[in-house]
Amino acid sequence: IYLYDIGQKSDGSGSTLEIRKIPVEFNTISKLNEHFSKFGTVTNVQIAFDGSADSALIAY
């Protein structure tokens, strides 16, 4: 799994993580939200980011 912090919003709040190489059985909105909500309030989860089935964006 590859994890990248692609930065904060323009107003300085929140952050978005780009995740790649996620095993297909874990790349669901519910599983990703369950895992990443341990680290803060998740505001958005997007799976299959950039047309790649093994990727996701997690926004805080």
* Residue range 34-48, pLDDT digits in tens: 999 999 999 999 999
Return the amino acid letter for 34: E
Comparing C-alpha atoms, which of 17, 15, 13 is closest to residue 4?
17
Residue 8 — very low, low, confident or very high, per pLDDT cuts 50/70/90? low
* pLDDT at position 12: 64
Domain boundaries, given as residue ranges, for the chain:
2-59
Across the chain, mean pLDDT equals 88
